[in-house]
Amino acid sequence: MDIDLIKVRLKEIISEERFVHSVNVSRVARELALRYDYNADNAEIAGLLHDCAKDLNYKTLEKMILEYNIQTDEIIQKIPKLLHPLVGAAIAEKEFNIQDPAILKAIKAHSAGAAQMSLLDKIIYLSDKIEPFEE
């Protein structure tokens, strides 16, 4: 799916404020990717989609865990802050047709981090913290 179409569809499922945040994260991610020699389009896509499940209510998150067969545990299951990265990765895959496992993993790792973080994981984790983008 191309980046403009991702933006159109993303706008339909998150709040205006979250959309602005996501675009800002995607711009910072693109800049960092260029600086650290990572695929800039993939970094931008991961940044755009990292919070795609953040505005879903708890009931919907729970429903999607079942629907998409998302692996969680008892602790994660009760904490929406930990759930939205996992559900977000599933939405990115199933509804935005993102196939690159590196992008999906960066979405999963964006909130709590991960034991083994790839360059893209780090780019998205950091971009999420340091936006808004300054020209």
Which residues contribute to the site for Fe ion (CB under 5 A)?
Answer: 51, 111, 128
Closest distance to Fe ion from the beta carbon of 36 (Å): 20
d(C-alpha 19, C-alpha 14), whole Å: 6
Given the complex with Fe ion, which of 1 and 130 has the nearer CB atom?
Answer: 130
Closest distance to Fe ion from the beta carbon of 120 (Å): 15
Given the complex with Fe ion, which of 37 and 47 has the nearer CB atom?
Answer: 47
Contacts of 72 (CB under 8 A, 6+ apart): 65, 83, 86
Nearest partner of 54 among 74, 96, 83, 94, judged by Cα: 83
Closest distance to Fe ion from the beta carbon of 128 (Å): 4
Given the complex with Fe ion, which of 38 and 54 has the nearer CB atom?
Answer: 54
Name the burial class of residue 26, with classes exposed (0-12), middle (13-18) and buried (19+) by CB atoms within 10 angstroms of its CB. buried
d(C-alpha 128, C-alpha 122), whole Å: 10
Given the complex with Fe ion, which of 44 and 128 has the nearer CB atom?
Answer: 128
Closest distance to Fe ion from the beta carbon of 110 (Å): 6
